[in-house]
Amino acid sequence: IRDPWTTAVIIIVNLIKMPAVAVILIGVLTLTFTFLFFVLVKPKLLKYNRNRLVEKTAISAFIIIFSLGTYTVIAKSESVNPATLEMRYNCQLQAATNLIDYGIETKADSKLPGRHIPFRDEINISLKQNTPGKNYNVVIIVLEGVQYKYTSLYDHKNNLTPYLLNLAREGAEFTHTRSSFTYSTKAIFSLMTGRYPSATFELPETLPQKQPYASIATILEDKLNYRTAYFLSAKGEFECGPGLVHNLGFDKFWARECLPGTDSYIGYLSSDEYAMIKPITEWIASDSKPFVLSVVCSVTHDPYEPPRWYAPAAKEPVGRYQQAITYTDSFISALDSELAKMNLKDNTIFCVLSDHGEAFGEHGQFTHEGMGYEEALRVPFVIRCPGLISGGTKVSAPVSLIDVVPTILNLAGLEVKGAGFDGLNALGLIPEDRKVFFVGGMYDAPLGYVEGKKKFIYEKASGQVYAYDLGSDPLELSQIKIDEPKKVIDEITGWHKAHILELDDNRHGQKLFFGNWLIKWKKNVARARYQKSPELAKQF
């Protein structure tokens, strides 16, 4: 239902490869359905009133057209009222508008002055006087939707992520890391740039820019001559992956569509992460220069399905989720073993973290959008760097995904203090009064910040603000009173308005990226299609 075309391709390809099995299956199914239909069910022809059918169709068409028009007027309204909120949250209207556009922001948001994120030639960063003496390779593994409590970092006895725990013992663990935005594309943008993404539900991060932003890839390429690659086990067409990767400045992009066949596909979105190991190691071996390698794992994304060869799928979602987490942990182990075989382990900064968490009813909510609770925000984050980080290091101060780039660049020998990052070096001094901001990832989603052990959450839709003491109440069961609620609201809304990227509604076009990815964009929407045929790709 979610991706019928891909599902049909997988089935057809497998039937072609196994003609004998295909004949048997199709033959048995044909006989079975014929018997059920004509012998058991014996359906009668449906009788209906033609005029009544035309009348209902016309009324339905009118309702759809009227609703779309009303949605455009009300949802973009300056005011916040019950009608506005209902129109923004209504799932039927969201489904209808998604057929012609991807999301919509409020008129008030579109009038904000906008925010500028520096491009690769606009950042001021230099080498430190005392550099490591060698160029460390950088490997960043991004997990999809892994909640901190579902790792062995939280509980050493649960054995869900033994290799992640081993990495923490060999390097540093940041025990209170939070996602900047509980939405994958935006979270990845922030952890690759050291800056907050656009604090809206639109995806300007995927609209192809004339040149990439200043990111971990562009900075290390420009300053230290690194080569860069981005591997994604999910569909690249999902949320215009190549557009995001182009804007991040990676030289190579690999996604599920790049697989030679569909055998490794898992569900509507993911693929077997082990299928990435060969192309990754081949890319590493193709050049002797130091590299930045980003690997984004997606099997832990819903519907949480590990490959069949790994384990029979559990019946309940939370059971499959745990299986997928353990499977991905084993993939990390396998990839790290390949690096060791290539004698790269001792000169590689190896970083593993998640883009956001995942909820399973802890506060009556599921998945990760539209909430400000720890199950959606708190994520695992570990770094191993032999010779520069002592094993067993623990950082308990609140940190964010925006701290990943400054931390890695500092280890690589670059001075990050004057570079203007939103984040900071998480292995350095972290101010006690630092505020780590976050957005809950949908229209009018909760947003707020963590300061020390206190979390402040502002519900934009209702106008309410509340807080939790995470030190005495880590499960967030009891809200605490806020002495100056207006001050907190002003601080959160001020941050929110200052972190909206300006969108140029007049931009449109199409271009081929990374050799095979055709991206078309119009206004604030970008879509990508994989051009499998080189001849077809040459046309663009």
Contact 234/531 with Cβ under 8 angstroms? no
Decide: pTM greater than 0.85.
Answer: no
Smallest CA-to-CA distance from 318 within 358, 355, 354, 353 is with: 358
Tokens of 521: 């964009």
pLDDT band at 236 (very low <50, low <70, confident <90, very high): very high
23-32 pLDDT per residue, tens: 998 899 999 9
pLDDT band at 102 (very low <50, low <70, confident <90, very high): very low
Q: Is the pLDDT of residue 106 over 50?
A: no
Q: Which residue has the higher pLDDT, 469 or 539?
A: 469
Q: What is the C-alpha to C-alpha distance for residues 454 and 469, in angstroms, rounded to an integer? A: 5
pLDDT band at 327 (very low <50, low <70, confident <90, very high): very high
Indicate the DSSP class of residue 41: I
Q: Is the pLDDT of residue 537 over 90?
A: no
Q: What is the C-alpha to C-alpha distance for residues 327 and 297, in angstroms, rounded to an integer? A: 11
Dihedral sign computed on CA atoms, order 111, 115, 120, 123 = positive
389-424 pLDDT per residue, tens: 999 999 999 999 999 999 999 999 999 988 889 999
Q: Is the pLDDT of residue 426 over 70?
A: yes
Which among 7-16, 153-162, 499-508, 518-527 has the top mean pLDDT? 153-162
pLDDT band at 104 (very low <50, low <70, confident <90, very high): very low
Which among 70-74, 250-254, 475-479, 508-512 has the top mean pLDDT? 250-254
Tokens of 429: 């001094």
452-505 pLDDT per residue, tens: 999 999 987 778 898 999 999 999 899 898 888 889 999 999 998 888 887 665
Smallest CA-to-CA distance from 361 within 377, 375, 340, 350 is with: 375
Dihedral sign computed on CA atoms, order 536, 297, 227, 128 = positive
Smallest CA-to-CA distance from 513 within 279, 215, 252 is with: 252
Contact 473/491 with Cβ under 8 angstroms? no
Query: What own/partner pairs with CB < 8 Å and gap ≥ 24 does 77-80 have?
Result: 77/106, 77/107, 78/106, 78/107, 78/108, 80/461, 80/463
How do beta strands 252-254 and 227-232 pair?
Answer: parallel
44-96 pLDDT per residue, tens: 777 778 888 899 999 999 988 887 777 666 655 544 444 554 555 556 665 66
Instruction: Determine the average pLDDT of the residues in 5-10.
Output: 74
SS3 labels along 90-145: CHHHHHHHHCCCCCCCCHHHHCCCCECCCEHHHCCCEECCCCCCCCCEEEEEEECC
Phi, psi angle pair for 336, to nearest 5°: -65, -35
Q: How far is CA 112 from CA 107, 109, 116, 130, 499, in A?
A: 9, 5, 12, 43, 10
Q: Is the pLDDT of residue 436 over 60?
A: yes
- Percent of residues, the chain, with pLDDT higher than 90: 56
Instruction: Determine the average pLDDT of the residues in 289-306.
Output: 94
Q: What is the C-alpha to C-alpha distance for residues 98 and 100, in angstroms, rounded to an integer? A: 5
pLDDT band at 107 (very low <50, low <70, confident <90, very high): very low
> What's the start-to-end Cα distance of the chain, in Å?
31
pLDDT band at 320 (very low <50, low <70, confident <90, very high): very high
Look over the chain and give the mean of its residue pLDDT values, rounded to a whole number.
Answer: 87
Instruction: Determine the average pLDDT of the residues in 313-338.
Output: 94
At 114 the pLDDT is 64
Distance of CA 271 to the CA centre of its chain: 16
Dihedral sign computed on CA atoms, order 177, 178, 183, 188 = negative
Phi, psi angle pair for 361, to nearest 5°: 85, 10
Which among 130-134, 137-141, 386-390 has the top mean pLDDT? 137-141
Residue 367: helix, strand or coil by DSSP? strand
Dihedral sign computed on CA atoms, order 330, 336, 342, 343 = negative
> Using alpha carbons only, what angle is made at residue 534 by residues 533 and 540, rounded to the nearest 5 degrees?
100
